[in-house]
C-alpha cells in the first residue's frame, strides 16, 4: 500500500483532545504515522497518494455499538455485504453486531460461524455480541468465559430483559469474574407487554397500548442496585426517558461504575412524529415526549450518557406494512447516524467535539478495543465529512438492504465524503 496524506483537514479526535487544522499521514501498513498541525507535507512523489481535504472534518472511524446484521437467518433483511456498504457510507468502521439472529448466537460454534462469515464477506471491523442467556429465554446464563475467549465483545439479549432478579444477580456475579461486558435492554416486560407507543396523549388518541417510562426506570433501578452487590462491566443499551436520566444522575453521584447509551432516534424524534400510525417510527423503547427528548440531550451535555448508537434494525416491508400493533419495531440507521448526530450540532443542542466523543472514543473505551482514535500507530480508520452539505434522505439510494428508515425524506445537513479503513479508501461520495 502506498503512503497516504490527508492534507488540510480539520482533525477532531476527542481521544487526544485535538481540534485543529492539520494533516494526517498514513503509513504503508495502514497505520497512522503522523497527525496534527505540525505535520509537514512531504514533497510530492509517486510513493505518496495525496488527498486535499479542503478543511473538511476528519474524525476517527465511527464505532456503532448497536447494529443488527441479518446473518444468519435474516439475510433478506440485511447481510454482511449490504451492512458494510451502509456502514462505510455513514463513516462507520466498527460495529457491534446483535446476537438475535436465527439461530441465535448463544454458543461457541455460532461464534466461529459469524466471525468467519464476517471476515469472508466484509472488511468492516465486526465485534460480535452474544446472547446474555441461552436461547434468549432469560433463564440460564451463556458460557461467558468460552464465548469471550472466542472473540465475543459483550453480552446482550436484544430488545429483551432478564426479568428474573435472582437470575440477573447471578449473571452479574459470574460475569464480573470473567470480565464480561453486559449490555442490558432495560424494559420491564410485564409493564411493557403488548405496548407499542409512549404513554400519554398520543397513545390515548391513537388508541394504542402504551409503554410507560417507568418500565425502563424500574429495571435500571433494579440493575444498579444489583451492581452495588456485584460490580461488573455493565452498560445500558438505550434509555429513552427523563425518569431514567434522573436515576442515572443519582447513581453517578454515588460514583457507581456503569455506562449508558442512547439511540440517535430518541435524540432526534419524539412521539408526535408517529403521526398517522407510521410503523417506521415504532421503536423499542418507544419514542417519548419532547420533554424526554430534551432531557436526553441535557444528559449528554452533563456527561450522563456515554454513547450514541444507530440502533440499526433493518426490517423488510412485510414486517412493517401491518397495523401498528403488529408491526416490527426499529429503523435502519447506520448510514444516517453521523448526519443525524450533526443535526444536534447544527441546532445548537450539543457541541461538536462532545458528539464525536460519543460515537468514537467512548464506545471504544467501553468495549476495550483499539478503535475510535487517531493516535499514531493505530489503524487508520478515518471518516472524512463535510459539515454543511445539505441532502435529502432517499431510501432508494441508502445502501442497506431494508428500507425502513424512520427519517425517510428528511433533509439533513452534513455528509460523509470519504471513509478509510486501515488506510484503504473504502468509500467516496
Partner 1 sequence: MAVIKKTSAIKNSPKHLLGIQNLSILEAQKILNEAKAFIKLNRSNTKKLDTLRGKTQINLFFEPSTRTQSSFDLAGKRLGADVMTMNMSNSALKKGETLIDTAMTLNAMHPDLIVVRHQDSGAPNLLSQKVNCAVINAGDGRREHPTQALLDALTIINRKGKIEGLKIAICGDIKHSRVARSNIYLMNMLGAEVNVIAPKTLMPDSIEQLGVKSFTSMKKGLDSCDIVMMLRLQNERMQGSFLPSKREYYEYYGLTPDKLRFASKDALVMHPGPMNRGVEIDTKLADDINVSLVKEQVELGVAVRMACLKLYCK
Residues that bind partner 1 (CB under 8 A): 199-208, 210, 212, 268-270, 272-277, 290, 293, 318, 321-326, 343, 347
State in angstroms the smallest separation of the CB of 212 from partner 1: 8
- CA distances (Å), origin 119, targets 81, 236, 396: 11, 28, 27
- Residue closer to partner 1 (CB basis): 294 or 378: 294
Distance (Å, rounded) from C-alpha 17 to C-alpha 195? 43
- Residue closer to partner 1 (CB basis): 21 or 322: 322
State in angstroms the smallest separation of the CB of 209 from partner 1: 8
- Residue closer to partner 1 (CB basis): 318 or 428: 318
SS3 210: strand
State in angstroms the smallest separation of the CB of 204 from partner 1: 4
- Residue closer to partner 1 (CB basis): 272 or 302: 272
State in angstroms the smallest separation of the CB of 188 from partner 1: 16
**The three cell numbers locating residue 50:** 495525496
Contact 385, 364 (CB under 8 A): no
- Find all residues with CB under 8 Å of 332, minimum gap 6, and list them: 86, 312, 313, 314, 398, 400, 402, 403, 404, 405
Distance (Å, rounded) from C-alpha 74 to C-alpha 102? 7
Contact 124, 422 (CB under 8 A): no
State in angstroms the smallest separation of the CB of 238 from partner 1: 17
- Residue closer to partner 1 (CB basis): 44 or 207: 207
State in angstroms the smallest separation of the CB of 348 from partner 1: 11
Quote the crossing angle between the two packed helices 214-229 and 242-253, to the nearest 10°.
20
Distance (Å, rounded) from C-alpha 162 to C-alpha 164? 6
- Residue closer to partner 1 (CB basis): 142 or 211: 211
SS3 233: strand
Contact 311, 285 (CB under 8 A): no
- Find all residues with CB under 8 Å of 17, minimum gap 6, and list them: none
Please report the beta strands in 37-104, taking only residues with DSSP state E, as ranges in sequence order: 48-52, 57-60, 62-67, 92-97
State in angstroms the smallest separation of the CB of 299 from partner 1: 16
Asked, as a colleague might, if the bond just before 285 is cis with ω within 30 of 0, I would say yes
- Residue closer to partner 1 (CB basis): 50 or 273: 273
- Residue closer to partner 1 (CB basis): 84 or 210: 210
State in angstroms the smallest separation of the CB of 333 from partner 1: 15
- Find all residues with CB under 8 Å of 191, minimum gap 6, and list them: 211, 212, 214, 215, 218
- Find all residues with CB under 8 Å of 62, minimum gap 6, and list them: 90, 91, 92, 93, 94, 337, 338, 359, 360, 383
Amino acid at each position: 500500500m502506498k503512503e497516504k496524506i490527508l492534507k488540510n483537514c480539520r482533525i477532531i479526535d476527542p481521544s487526544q483532545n485535538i481540534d485543529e487544522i492539520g494533516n494526517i499521514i498514513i503509513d504503508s501498513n495502514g497505520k497512522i504515522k503522523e497527525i496534527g498541525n505540525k505535520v509537514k507535507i512531504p514533497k510530492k512523489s509517486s510513493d505518496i497518494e495525496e488527498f486535499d481535504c479542503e478543511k473538511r472534518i476528519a474524525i476517527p472511524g465511527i464505532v456503532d455499538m448497536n447494529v443488527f446484521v441479518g446473518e444468519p437467518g435474516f439475510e433478506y433483511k440485511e447481510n454482511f455485504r449490504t451492512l458494510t456498504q451502509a456502514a462505510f457510507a455513514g463513516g462507520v468502521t466498527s460495529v457491534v453486531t446483535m446476537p438475535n439472529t436465527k439461530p441465535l448466537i448463544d454458543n461457541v460454534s455460532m461464534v466461529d460461524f459469524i466471525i468467519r462469515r464476517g471476515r469472508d464477506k466484509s472488511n468492516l471491523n465486526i465485534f460480535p455480541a452474544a446472547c446474555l442467556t441461552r436461547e434468549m429465554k432469560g433463564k440460564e446464563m451463556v458460557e461467558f468465559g468460552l464465548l469471550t475467549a472466542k472473540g465475543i465483545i459483550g453480552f446482550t439479549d436484544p430488545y429483551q430483559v432478564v426479568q428474573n432478579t435472582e437470575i440477573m444477580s447471578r449473571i452479574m456475579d459470574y460475569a464480573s469474574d470473567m470480565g464480561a461486558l453486559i449490555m442490558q435492554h432495560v424494559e420491564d416486560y410485564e409493564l411493557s407487554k403488548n405496548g407499542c407507543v409512549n404513554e400519554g396523549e398520543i397513545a390515548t388518541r391513537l388508541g394504542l397500548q402504551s409503554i410507560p417510562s417507568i418500565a425502563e426506570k424500574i429495571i435500571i433501578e433494579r440493575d444498579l442496585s444489583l451492581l452495588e452487590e456485584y460490580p461488573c462491566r455493565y452498560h445500558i443499551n438505550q434509555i429513552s426517558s427523563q425518569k431514567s436520566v434522573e436515576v442515572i444522575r443519582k447513581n453517578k453521584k454515588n460514583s457507581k461504575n456503569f455506562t449508558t447509551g442512547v439511540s440517535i432516534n430518541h435524540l432526534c424524534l419524539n412521539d408526535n412524529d408517529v403521526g398517522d400510525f407510521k410503523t417506521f417510527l415504532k421503536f423499542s423503547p418507544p419514542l417519548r415526549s419532547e420533554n424526554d427528548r430534551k432531557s436526553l440531550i441535557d444528559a449528554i451535555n452533563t456527561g450522563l450518557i456515554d454513547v450514541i448508537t444507530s440502533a440499526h434494525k433493518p426490517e423488510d416491508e412485510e414486517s412493517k406494512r401491518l397495523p401498528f400493533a403488529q408491526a416490527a419495531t426499529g429503523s435502519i440507521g447506520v448510514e444516517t447516524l453521523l448526519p443525524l448526530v450533526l443535526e444536534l450540532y447544527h441546532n445548537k443542542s450539543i457541541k461538536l467535539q462532545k458528539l464525536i466523543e460519543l460515537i468514537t472514543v467512548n464506545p471504544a473505551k467501553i468495549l476495550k478495543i483499539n478503535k475510535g482514535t487517531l493516535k499514531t500507530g493505530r489503524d487508520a480508520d478515518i471518516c472524512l465529512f463535510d459539515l454543511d452539505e445539505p441532502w435529502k434522505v432517499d431510501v432508494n439510494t441508502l445502501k442497506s438492504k431494508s428500507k425502513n428508515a424512520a427519517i425517510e425524506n428528511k433533509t439533513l445537513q452534513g455528509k460523509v465524503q470519504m471513509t478509510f479503513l486501515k488506510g484503504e479508501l473504502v468509500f467516496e461520495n
